[in-house]
Amino acid sequence: MNTLKLYYAEDPFYIAVNQYGFGVHKIPAMAIALAQTEVPAKAKPSQMLVYSSFEFVEPIDFKRDAPVWPNGTKPKLVGLTNTHRLYRQTYR
């Protein structure tokens, strides 16, 4: 059985989104750290969604616990964490 393998020479952008803001970076840990800077110090922990996209895209709003993307763009959801959890990138 033959399978199709897709290889991308370019790394995707990672977009970490929470109700207070977002962060975009080529490294997932940096995107999460950038999004955490938008969270007020006294805020309760809430969900943070991590998406990947091969084009630079920023959410335009956050409604019903999900981001609203411009022009029908739909990045791929790749992770879930919360706004108060420390995240360190590891390579295996």
pLDDT score recorded for residue 88: 61
What distance in Å separates the CA atoms of residue 67 and residue 14, rounded to the nearest whole number?
A: 14
Q: Is the pLDDT of residue 79 over 60?
A: yes
Q: How many residues does the chain have?
A: 92
Tokens 């335009």, located at residue: 60
Please state the separation of Cα 91 from the chain's center in Å. Answer: 18
Q: What average pLDDT does the segment 74-92 reach?
A: 77
Strands 47-53 and 66-68: unpaired
Mean pLDDT of 71-82: 87
Give the domain ranges of the chain. Answer: 13-58+66-82
Q: Identify the pLDDT of residue 87.
A: 62
Q: Per-residue pLDDT tens for 13-52?
A: 999 999 999 999 999 889 999 999 888 888 898 889 999 9
40 or 3, higher pLDDT = 40
Question: How far apart are alpha carbons 68 and 59 in whole angstroms?
Answer: 6
Backbone angles phi, psi at 31, to 5 degrees: -60, -40
